[in-house]
Amino acid sequence: MICCTIFAALLGLFMRPFVLLRTNPLAWRLKHQPAASDPPLRATGRLQSFSHALAGLAFLVRNEPNVRIHLAASLSAVIAGLRLHLSLSEWQWLIFAIALVLAAEALNTAVEQACNSVTRSYNPAIKAAKDVAAGAVLISAVAAALIGATIFLPHVVPSLANRNLPSSNWICGNPGDA
């Protein structure tokens, strides 16, 4: 593993001059050479970046019904968490699960919009890209559901919280305990 890492680092150092000579065929933005009169990038540029991000989120909520479903489920999970007085670690997992699903849905929408801008006619490669992006949302939603089940079920079904589970000493220590 370490040998592969060292090899990859050396290969990257060796290939860097060649990569810099080649223009990126995937770059879609026009080359802009800053003139001497152009002001340097300041906080307004960063604020504009946040403005673009918020516009993207607004587009997502406005145009994707699945995002609205995920937001409703997230809101209900937060309300349930407040009512059940979740611990800090449970809140961390809940926030992670919500962010995971919403980020996957946003990336899915970005892939769909990019593919739709290329062509509206059937293309097997575009179908595969859209299907994989939708599969990523499915994976994240299932993971979030499992995280939610491990958080909420012990609070809702008290017998699950008081259950005596087998000891895990066999994993990390005392061979005599097995």
The catalytic position among 64, 90, 105, 112 is 105
Contact 67, 60 (CB under 8 A): yes
105 given a catalytic annotation: yes
How far is the C-alpha of 107 from the C-alpha of 98, rounded, in Å? Answer: 14
Given a contact cutoff of 8 angstroms between Cβ atoms, the answer to whether 152 and 159 are in contact is no
Amino acid identity for residue 88 in this structure: L
Owner of token pair 């993207």: 56
For residue 19, give both structure tokens. Answer: 């990569």
User: Contact, 109 vs 56, CB < 8 A?
Assistant: no
**Residue 119 DSSP code:** -
Residues acting as catalytic residues: 105
